Amino acid sequence: MPLHDVVQLALAAQRERTSASSDRRLSPREEQICELVADGLTNREIAVRLHLIHHTVDNHMRRIFGKVGVSSHTSLATWSVRQIRQ
């Protein structure tokens, strides 16, 4: 397959992922948690700050990871800085 076709397929796949993730908007609480992750807080520190049980924050984090397509605090912090703080 020519390189041009491979690039076009990759771009199409990226557009599909972007449109699919836009259907998965973050709730205000999830945005708040993303901000705190971007500030460098751990799940337990976020729980204390928001007066939640740390397991609740863990559950939020799993949903956020799925919605934005990341798998770590560092990736989420980077995503947050790019998306939420604009």
- Residue 57 CB coordination number (10 Å): 24
> Mean pLDDT lowest for which of 16-20, 23-27, 57-61?
16-20
**Which residues 6+ apart lie within 8 Å of 46 measured at CB?**
33, 36, 37, 52, 57
Concatenate the DSSP letters of all residues of 44-62 into one string.
HHHHHHHT--HHHHHHHHH
| CA 25/CA 49 separation, integer angstroms | 23
pLDDT reported for residue 83 = 80
| CA 21/CA 44 separation, integer angstroms | 27
pLDDT mean over 7-28:
67
| CA 45/CA 37 separation, integer angstroms | 10
Please state whether the predicted TM-score (pTM) of the whole model is above 0.85.
no
Domains in the chain with CATH codes? 28-86 (1.10.10.10)
pLDDT reported for residue 80 = 87
The per-residue pLDDT for range 33-77, each reduced to its tens digit, is 999 999 999 999 999 999 999 999 999 999 999 999 999 989 998
Would you say 33 and 61 are in contact if contact means Cβ atoms under 8 Å apart?
yes
Per-residue pLDDT at 2 exceeds 70: yes
